[in-house]
Structure 1
C-alpha cells in the first residue's frame, strides 16, 4: 500500500472518528496523517510488496470490537457478584510478532481490552508481560491472544 493511500485511509478514519466533515478538520486530519506516517516511515519499506492489507485490518478492528464487548461484559459480571472469586496476576506471553509497530499494537489492544493490561516488553522483544484480572486459566488466555489479536495483526501487516 502506498504512503499516499495509507495517509488517505488515516484521514478518512480521522473524519469518521471526529464526526466533523469540515475543510479545516480535513486539513488537520491530513497534517496528523502526514506526521504519523513520518514517525513510522522507517518501518514502512518502499517497493516492498508487503504492507497493510485493508480487509485484514478491518477484520482486526472487528475482532477488537468483539473482544472489547465480550471482556467488558465479563468484567461487569465479575464486579457485580457479591463475592468476587478472582485470581489476578501477571504472566509472560511469548511473542510471535517481531516489529516494534506490531508489538506496540498488540500491547495496546490488550491494554484497551477490559480485564487485561500490558505491563512490559522483555528486553529481547520476545516476551510481553500481561496483568490479568483473572489468571485461573493462563494457557487459555495465551491461546486467545495468539489465535486472536496476534494472528490478525500478522495478517493485516504482513511482510
Structure 2
C-alpha cells in the first residue's frame, strides 16, 4: 500500500470533515494524517521508509532555506558595503548523481540560491558548470556543493 496516497486521502478527509478545504486545512490534515500513520506504523509494512523519506525532504527544505538566508545576507552585505568582495567566476563541479531528477533538483536549488547560477550540464551528466559571485576559492565551492546541496538531494531522492 502506498503510504503517501493514504496520507493524502487522510488530509482530504480531514479537510472535508472540518469544512475547511483550503491549503491550510489540507496541510493540517496532512500533518494529522502523518501523526496517525506514525502511531499505527506496525499496521503498515514499509511505513518506516516513508517516514525516513519525509524526514529527508524536510531536512532538504530546511537546509536549503538556511543556505538561502546565508547567501542572501552575503550578497546584500556585498552590495551595501563600499568594499566589494565579489570575485565572480565560472566553476566546474563534478556531479555524483546519475538520475536526471537529482541533477535537475541540484541545478535548480543552486540557481535559486543568491550569488550562484547553474549554467550547463555536460552531455555525459558528470559535470555542472556554475557561475558564482564569490569564486575566490573554486575548490571550497565544489566541496560545499558536493557535501551540501548535492548530498542532501541525493539523500532525499533515495
In the alignment, the residues of structure 2 paired with residue 67 and residue 24 of structure 1 have an alpha-carbon distance, to the nearest angstrom, of 30
Q: Which has the higher helix share?
A: 2
1:106-145 equivalences in 2 (<5 Å)? 106-145=106-145
Deviation at 1:100, TM superposition (A): 0.7
Uncovered stretches (5+) of structure 2, i.e. residues with no partner? 13-18, 25-48
The 1:58/1:6 distance shift into structure 2, 3 A limit, reads farther
Spell out, residue by residue over 1:94-117, the C-alpha distance to the aligned partner (whole angstroms, 9 max, x if none): 001111100000001100100000
TM-score (norm 2): 0.70
Q: Which has the higher contact order (CA 8 A, sep 6+)?
A: 1
Uncovered stretches (5+) of structure 1, i.e. residues with no partner? 13-20, 27-49
1:9-48 equivalences in 2 (<5 Å)? 23=21
Task: Show structure 1 runs of 4+ deviating over 2 A.
Answer: 1-9, 21-26
In the alignment, the residues of structure 1 paired with residue 21 and residue 128 of structure 2 have an alpha-carbon distance, to the nearest angstrom, of 42
Which residue number in structure 1 is paired with residue 98 of structure 2?
A: 98
The 1:110/1:7 distance shift into structure 2, 3 A limit, reads farther
Task: Tell which deviates more after alignment, 69-78 or 84-93.
Answer: 84-93
SS in 2 for 1:53: helix
The 1:7/1:98 distance shift into structure 2, 3 A limit, reads farther
Q: Does 2:51 correspond to 1:71?
A: no
Which residue number in structure 2 is paired with residue 2 of structure 1?
A: 2
TM-score (norm 1): 0.69
RMSD: 3.3
Spell out, residue by residue over 1:22-67, the C-alpha distance to the aligned partner (whole angstroms, 9 max, x if none): 64879xxxxxxxxxxxxxxxxxxxxxxx888111111111100100
In the alignment, the residues of structure 1 paired with residue 108 and residue 153 of structure 2 have an alpha-carbon distance, to the nearest angstrom, of 12
The 1:153/1:82 distance shift into structure 2, 3 A limit, reads same
In the alignment, the residues of structure 2 paired with residue 120 and residue 7 of structure 1 have an alpha-carbon distance, to the nearest angstrom, of 37
Deviation at 1:155, TM superposition (A): 1.1
Deviation at 1:87, TM superposition (A): 1.3
